[in-house]
Amino acid sequence: MVIMTMTSSPAFLPVLERIAEEIERTPGRGRPADYIPALAACDPRRFGMAVAELDGTVYGVGDWRQPFSTQSITKVFTLALDLAREGDELWEHVGREPSGNPFNSLVQLEYEQGIPRNPFINAGALVVTDRLQTRTGDAAGELLAFLRAESGNASLEFDMEVAASESQHGDRNAALAHFMASYGNIDNEIPVLLDQYFRQCSVAASCADLALAATFLARHGIRADGTRLLTRSQAKQVNAVMLTCGTYDAAGDFAYRVGLPGKSGVGGGIVAVVPGRCALCVWSPGLDERGNSVAGVAALDRFTTLTGLSVF
């Protein structure tokens, strides 16, 4: 794996530098996620952006080496890890449709009999984590090992302060899990599942780490070591669900503006994939009212505009 620095001259570096300059001049960066106390103190004007190419070359601008709380971005990786193990059986327990409701909503579960709309809302992510836990005995540990291997960063770790903070304010996630368990759609004990889920969301990683970790989706399912995690069809499925469901109930606007598969997290990060070309990660902690990074979405919008790269 090649790690390039800002002194290198990779293909997209001038584009990233231009974007960083534009973002620096942009007022109004949104607000950090204040309902998770451990995230509330983040400076909304921090900004980093990284690109990882198919050969593992990675480069970036701004705070691209600064670890941040990945939060829901990790749902992409747990989805891939479980889909690799059980294939299409997964889709009997979680859907693939946009929800149109907030990511932590309970509204649809009752009239859809405990089957979440997609793997990226909290209910769907709980189902995926539950199923990965059943198959591995340590879903969060499996995720962390995967991120370390794909990023080449063996020091990646859970942020237990963030995990504890989420656990202390996790009543709605507990309610979602119990409700789905009442329909037989959860296998593990709820406290075990919630511990796995909160640790999963607490992983601290940088833009460089996450861009590298997501590059297997740009390589159509091939990992950094050349082995295949997903079939080409499964990689397409994950990218498709990212495009339609990856940015909460703003996925339509994200597809309209950015035109790439993407997954955001309330820590302010967004990963995006250009199939066959590269993966990106952008981070800025200030969020809009739907939980997506204001500067992050703007930066990815500019990237696809300036480069002409999108899936459309």
pLDDT digits (tens, 9 = 90+) for 283-292: 999 999 999 9
Query: What pLDDT was estimated at residue 75?
Result: 98
CA distance 225 to 145: 14
Residues with catalytic roles: 72, 75, 197, 248, 266
Span 283-307, average pLDDT: 96
**Which pTM value belongs to this model?**
0.94
At 42, list the tokens: 């983040």
Query: Is 277's pLDDT higher than 50?
Result: yes
Q: How confident is the model at residue 213 (pLDDT cuts 50, 70, 90)?
A: very high
